[in-house]
Amino acid sequence: MEDHELKNIWQAYNRQLEEARILNMQTWVVHMQTVEYLQLHKAQSRLQSLGRFKTGIVVLGIVWCLFLGVLVWGNWFKNPYFTISVGMLLLFNLLAVILYIYHIVLIRRISYSESVTGTQQQLAKLQASTLKAIRILWLQMPFYCTWFWHSSWIDYGSARFWLITFPITLFFTVLAIWLYKQIDYKNRHKKWFRLLMGGKEWTTVVKAMDYLDEINRFKQEEQVHLQNG
């Protein structure tokens, strides 16, 4: 089979479309009413719904941060462990909220009229960047184990504290730092990663990462050609 034979088949396809009158205005009409219906009924694109989902998360995040802020303000150093722990929780949640706001800005900036690889890369990056927010949120884990600490437990060498509370906090601290470092695209094929990120939302994130890899390979080839050229 030669090039022209492939093209001939495609041209036959064009003729077939014409003959089948699928392209005929009588069977395939796009008119003013269509545009009006689109404006009225289909006012939400996939990106917009992703934007709305992220906006919802931001609103919830802000409410949660306000709650934490009130707790910190209302208990300002009455118990330093409580103030510092809740203050750190507030900090990590604020960072995550800022990251989600950044995502919303990115969503608004994405344009489908850019080049195909450019737009697809931006879309995949947007989905993949959810992982950054998750990494940050894991770091708050140890502070959920410290907000109820009391200085008397340390001052008087409470056995329950040193044998149970402290080791548990230490364990979660090490785990949080390890997860922060290890939740990365390069580890996506590891069993623990797939167990942890096995949900539907994470599957989308992992797929987006794979796609980013694919686009990079697709574009990389041109660099090889340029170097060779």
Residues making contact with another protein (CB under 8 A): 1-3, 5-7, 9-10, 12-14, 16-17, 19-20, 22-23, 25, 27-39, 41-42, 44-46, 111-120, 123, 204, 207, 211, 214-215, 218-219, 221-222, 225-226, 229
Decide whether 19 or 162 has the Cβ nearer to another protein: 19
What's the DSSP call for residue 164?
I
What residues have CB less than 8 Å from 27, skipping those under 6 apart?
21
Q: CB 100 → another protein: shortest distance, Å?
A: 21
Can you give the length of the chain in residues? 229
**Is the separation of the CB atoms in 132 and 99 below 8 Å?**
yes
3-state secondary structure (DSSP) of residue 129: coil
Smaller CB separation from another protein, 186 or 200: 200
Residue nearer to another protein on the CB measure, 20 or 175: 20
State which residue, 159 or 226, has the beta carbon closest to another protein.
226
The pair of structure tokens assigned to 166 is: 């402290």
Structure tokens at 145: 């184990």
Q: How far is the CB of 196 from another protein (least distance, A)?
A: 20
Q: How far is the CB of 104 from another protein (least distance, A)?
A: 17
Residues 6+ apart with CB under 8 A from 93: 61, 64, 65, 68, 137, 140
**Least CB distance from residue 203 to another protein, whole Å?**
8
